[in-house]
Amino acid sequence: MKIRPQTITEKILAEHAGKKEVIPGEFILANIDLALGNDITAPLAIKKLKELGEEKVFDKEKIALVPDHFTPNKDIPSAEQCKVVREFARKLQISHYYEVGRVGIEHALLPEEGLTLPGELIIGADSHTCTYGAVGAFSTGIGSTDLAFAMLTGKIWLRVPESIKLLFYGKLKKWVTAKDLILFTIGELGVNGANYKALEFTGEAIKELGMDGRFTICNMVIEAGAKSGIIPPDEKTLDFLKKVNRKNRPFKIYHSDENAEYSEIREYDAGKIEPLVAFPHLPSNIKPVRESTHIDVDQVVIGSCTNGRIEDLKISAEILKGKKVHPNVRLIVIPATQRIYLEALKRGWLEIFIEAGGVISPPTCGPCLGGHMGVLAKGERCLATTNRNFIGRMGHPESEVYLASPAVAAATAIKGRISHPEEVI
């Protein structure tokens, strides 16, 4: 039987479902390579397992429990949540449990730990699990009940998504980053434009990005409604894996067939994209930074699973070096993992942030979801490198969140209003 040309996503799903091919719209029961839960979602899954009388897991090596949202514990309820996860991990001897002091923001931590490899099927009870598509894996967010089923059986039910191919040709202008590319994409598609689709990113501009930028892009595909995002592996991917795949776990690289079918193919000249900012209260509500410089802010957050990596801190430090945060602004910098924190310390970047008038947080999701370490009061505005700016996302429902790149965030912290990096460099 002749097999129809397949996309990279279809090939990965077919392999994990034990089939020669899959078709968009088809329901499959697929084997997983990794199941992720955090301090908000894992307790619900653990509770479901207890209700079923099944306090066990299919493979203690293929589960990751990362208490990163409300840690270090912000109050008694969050402490109780983390205690549930901690005790479950200890009882079942879960290999990949990360305590405070070793923990990082999950979607930066797991690739850094070598737990996300090309060709794998990764699920997580967090919507931004789609981040791992940056290494050429199929990764997607699920609910806590599905996480319980996955932890118990090692399987997940999925409907095979259609794929949209996004080709970015040309070279990026100075100050335009991966964050601007994904904000542009969300602006083009809308927050529902890719519902249950797999977004496949290709083209010269994508290939030029380092891994940090690729993680940023795949992290935010969910903001367009996508089921997953994926970037075909290349030499940069392999170089990254040489550093992080410390246990030399085997993996398989897939690429889309030349004649694979897509529901849509879009091409963009990346050289025409400007630094962008997403206005409240949707990630798709984008405007050029140059047209947004009248917006004063009270707070700037640099960090999160979207933009808390080395390259993000590097560009922020370069812009802030020798300058001061505006007296009306609170600057909060959150390195995404302990390794990133330590590297930033060694390179002198933390000193730059502190001397500028910023504060350094331990790795945490914290303010991104209105949890702690930067919750907004009524009427306050924050420009953040995070991924969502829905009503009340970072605190009071009458506060406002604007999304932008670390370069724009650093410039904004200095000027006290949304600013293009050219204004301070």
Q: Where are the alpha helices (DSSP H) in 124-234?
A: 144-153, 178-189, 204-208, 211-219
Nearest alpha carbon to residue 35 among 198, 144, 158, 196: 144
Place 54 in a pLDDT band, splitting at 50, 70 and 90. confident
Q: How high is the pLDDT of residue 1?
A: 67
The tokens for 422 are 């050219």
Q: Hey, what domains does the chain have and what are their CATH numbers? A: 8-267 (3.30.499.10), 277-423 (3.30.499.10)
Give the pLDDT band (50/70/90) at residue 22. Answer: very high
Give the model's pLDDT for residue 3: 84
Considering the chain, what percentage of its residues have pLDDT values greater than 70? 100
> E strand or H helix at 122, and its extent?
strand 121-124
Please, what sign has the CA dihedral across residues 265, 176, 239, 221? negative
pLDDT at 404: 98
Q: Is the dihedral of CA 215, 219, 224, 228 positive or negative?
A: positive
* pLDDT for residue 55: 80
Residue carrying the six token digits 């259609």: 162
What single string gives the DSSP state of each residue in 265-295?
Answer: EEEEEGGGPPPEEEPTT-TT-EEEGGG-TT-
Q: What token pair was written down for 278?
A: 């997403």
Query: Quick one: pLDDT at residue 328?
Result: 97
Check pLDDT > 90 for residue 257.
yes
pLDDT per position as a tens digit, 123-167: 999 999 999 999 999 999 999 999 999 999 999 999 999 999 999
Helix (H) or strand (E) holding 139: strand 138-141
**Length of the chain in terms of residues written:** 425
Rounded CA gap, 79 and 82, in Å?
A: 5
Burial 250-277 (b: 16+ CB within 10 A, else e): ebeebebeeebebeeeeebebeebbbbb
Cβ-based neighbours of 379, under 8 Å, separated by 6 or more: 396, 398, 399
Strand partners, 359: 332
| For residue 296, pLDDT beyond 70 | yes
pLDDT tens for 80-136 read 999 999 999 999 999 999 999 999 999 999 999 999 999 999 999 999 999 999 999
Q: Does the bond joining 281 to the residue before it have cis omega, within 30 degrees of 0?
A: yes
The amino acid that residue 295 corresponds to is I
The region, left, alpha or beta by phi > 0 then psi within -120 to 50, assigned to residue 91 is alpha
At which residue do the structure tokens 């894992």 appear?
A: 42
% of residues, the chain, pLDDT over 90: 95
Predicted TM-score of the model (pTM) = 0.95
User: 192-202, pLDDT tens digit by residue?
Assistant: 989 999 999 99
> Among candidates 125, 88, 92, which has minimal Cα distance to 107?
125
Helix (H) and strand (E) counts in the chain: 14, 18
Of the candidates 422, 404, 417, the residue with the CA atom closest to the CA atom of residue 177: 404
Which pLDDT score is estimated for 92? 94
**Amino acid code (one letter) for 19:** K
Which of 20-24, 54-58, 224-228, 293-297 is predicted least confidently?
Answer: 54-58
Residue 157: strand pairing partners:
29
Q: How far is it, in rounded angstroms, from Cα 304 to Cα 108?
A: 9
Residue 171 and residue 273: Cα distance in Å, rounded? 10
Amino acid found at 56? K
Angle at which helix 310-320 crosses helix 349-356, to 10 degrees, equals 50
State the average pLDDT for the chain. 96
Alpha-helical (H) ranges within 98-157 are 106-112, 144-153
Integer Cα distance of 353 and 341 in angstroms? 12
What's the pLDDT score for residue 56? 87
